[in-house]
Structure 1
Amino acid sequence: MTRTKILGAVLAKPQEPLGIHELLIDEPLPGEVRLRILAAGLCHSDLHYLDGTLPIDLPAVLGHELMGEIVAVGDADAVDRIGERAVVTITPSCGICDQCSAGFSTRCTRVTRRRYRSRPKVVTKHGEPVNLLGSIGGFAEQVIVPAAAAIPVPVDLSPSAGCLLGCCIATGFGAVVHGASVSPLDTVAVIGCGGVGIAALQAARISGARQVIAIDVHEEKLERARNFGATDALLSGSDIIEQVQKVCPGGVTKSFEAVGSPATADLSFEILSAGGVATVLGLERPGSRISLDAALLIEGDRRIQGAYMGSNQMARDVLGYVDHYRSGALELDQMVTSRWKFEQINEGFAAMREPGAIRSVVEFI
């Protein structure tokens, strides 16, 4: 069996730097493609695994927000895809289960089966299997994914901008247009102005929401949010509900939580107007619970919901994202607050912890 030598950033122990090691990647099996990575976004989800907030079997290669170039295919009739540029989605859908057939690809009931493989994709130089986050493991020079998870993009799309489409844009933008169906009649609040939050904020602006309120604990992030089109920017504190009521009497019709804490999930519900909808996007610790004010729920017809990966339809959505980017409406380059070489990935994660950071991107070219 032929395997190709690659370099990967391996997490051996939480709260320790990633180590750049030589790994061996398999050939793609039928239904798979192998990509050479051009750029990878450093997502806060990756940071949660890195610092031990979220559990993962080790050793592991993290990373899932990617743009790459297809260099090998598992099916002879897909050879024309070699050389194609693509973004990767962490939710490969089967297209035939009841959820996929209903248009909800992120709820695919066969996703575990889609990720199953008869042999490891990646092993150490000693032949030991390496765990891959989301069955992707994007902090490496190459990855293998299901062919349907590699979504074609124009060849001239900047990799550092394009990689954002696979996660933070798909999640934040998708939650606004698919999960909550924001319209020009809506007032919107976005809690947490990192990558997902800024994507949601931009989507709300593009969707014509009449008011878009940014909420964060860092003034630096709020200043950036203003530049992305927030009509109001509020520094979160003990009086944040009163602050929201002051700028939007009665509360907002749609709220989006992009932090990953029960407290901010609770807040997303409490700032709603009657009939409003809160969408929780942030990943939380296993076992976390959200508490709701029963009166607000029952008497005001308020709702709270999830929108996993923005309830996106990646194969369809990507072309729309690219068009909005090219028109200047969706600002991707401005979301990249620092760029790093692959060997500097730990410095990139350190930069992600800075108050004004939105996205660090590792560039492989």
Structure 2
Amino acid sequence: MVQSQAAVHFGEGTKLQIEVVEVADPGRGNVLVRMGASGVCGSDRHVLDGDWEMPSPTVLGHEGAGTVEAVGDGVTDVEPGDHVILSWFYPCRRCTACLSGKAYVCTGSRSEECVLPDGTTPLTLDGKPAFAYLAVGTMSEYTVVPESAAIRIPKEVPFDVASLIGCSIATGVGTVVNDAAVEPGTSAVVVGAGGVGLSIIMGLKLVGANPIIAVDLNEEKLAFARELGATHTIVPDDDLAAQVAAITEGGAAYAFEAIGRVETIESLPGLLAPGGSAVVVGLPPVDAPVSFDALELAESGKKIIGSNYGSTVPGRDFPKLASLYLAGALPVDKLISHRISLPEVNEAFDAMRRGERARSVIVF
């Protein structure tokens, strides 16, 4: 058992507290990881702001990377000293979805319960059970995860870059490549230039989309979008569809929503050309249904695609994304606007709520 400083949410309020938790030795099939970096992501903010209910107390953080310190019995994928990216949705590797190559919709994972496959938690706080958010809890110096959540990568990849590959990059690039299957030369608009939106823009540039339009209210984020591949940026007015149509000669082939707001999700079909595809990437609060004009969708041949984790298969996709970074094709480091210490995490979330920064990353 090791002691670890961690950012803990106690189920009430919007602030995290820095506490010392005890992390158990890795049991059979599990891996102890000393964290190198953890992203500060909008999905963590959903928990803090009461949009999603989780067991508490909860060590937040779900995109992270670090070094394997120890492994439990039966672990063969990694060994002490390996550098790994953590997957926030660990696959069971046994269900029909996993066996058909769709780990992103695994039905056997207990990740969303914030527990290990056997239903236990490796964390305690003041002698009582604590939970790791999505079974990884990356805002902690140490964590224990299932073997299938720890994906080995080259040691040349910095931990701050690797941490973002585990969520925002995998989601953003994956939704372009896996979900939408965007073809070179096709037009795309991305609504929301936060961490995931900027990752989508990087993915669109990677596959050769053109034009690439970024939409956001924040000029600083639009500047990041231009640096990462956007050919056009828009501060939306009352008729965003007309603004997009003017650039794309009638509407985009693909429209991505990366915020999770009902209003912006509902706007997606209006941004499309006939036959276009709208991709819902942003995650709204629980019980927040959206409405579309089904007749218009049918008559215009438009599609609505739901994207979960960019249809990422971690063991397949994390090493690919790491290799693209090392080859200079995926400039993930440009996405990081602030590198912070663990005690600065609340300030990072406050900046996120104000619509500021690209990505903040905790460096241990």
TM over 0.5: yes
* Aligned with 1:6 (options 4, 7, 13): 4
How far has the Cα of 1:76 moved from its partner?
5.6
Q: CA offsets per residue over residues 69-109 of structure 1, 9 Å max, x none?
A: 11111126649611101000112112332212222110111
Which residue identity is paired with 1:123?
T
Q: CA offsets per residue over residues 121-140 of structure 1, 9 Å max, x none?
A: 10112x21112211121111
Match of 1:21 in 2: 19
With normalisation by structure 2, the TM-score equals 0.94
Structure-2 separation of matches of 1:303 and 1:18: 40
SS for the counterpart of 1:111 is coil
Structure-1 separation of matches of 2:251 and 2:136: 40
Distance 1:118 1:194, change over 3 A: closer
Q: CA offsets per residue over residues 10-69 of structure 1, 9 Å max, x none?
A: 112443421111111111111110100000000011112112232223221110000011
CA contact (8 A) 2:28 2:75 kept: no
Q: What does 1:4-153 align with in structure 2 at a 5 Å threshold?
A: 4-75=2-73, 78=76, 81-112=79-110, 115-125=116-126, 127-153=127-153
Structure-2 separation of matches of 1:79 and 1:96: 16
Where structure 1 has 5 or more consecutive residues not aligned to the other structure, the ranges are none
CA contact (8 A) 1:93 1:100 kept: yes
Q: What does 1:1-365 align with in structure 2 at a 5 Å threshold?
A: 3-75=1-73, 78=76, 81-112=79-110, 115-125=116-126, 127-364=127-364
Identical columns (%): 34
Where structure 2 has 5 or more consecutive residues not aligned to the other structure, the ranges are none
Which residue identity is paired with 2:191?
I
Which residue identity is paired with 1:261?
R
Which residue identity is paired with 1:10?
V
How far has the Cα of 1:332 moved from its partner?
1.1
Structure-1 separation of matches of 2:147 and 2:75: 12
Structure-2 separation of matches of 1:118 and 1:167: 23
Q: What number of residue pairs does the alignment pair up? A: 361
Structure-2 separation of matches of 1:229 and 1:14: 39
How far has the Cα of 1:259 moved from its partner?
0.1
CA contact (8 A) 1:6 1:23 kept: yes
Distance 1:349 1:80, change over 3 A: closer
CA contact (8 A) 1:339 1:348 kept: no
Q: CA offsets per residue over residues 308-327 of structure 1, 9 Å max, x none?
A: 00001221112221222123
Which residue identity is paired with 2:218?
H
CA contact (8 A) 2:29 2:74 kept: no
With normalisation by structure 1, the TM-score equals 0.94
CA contact (8 A) 2:77 2:147 kept: no
How far has the Cα of 1:249 moved from its partner?
1.9
SS for the counterpart of 2:256 is strand
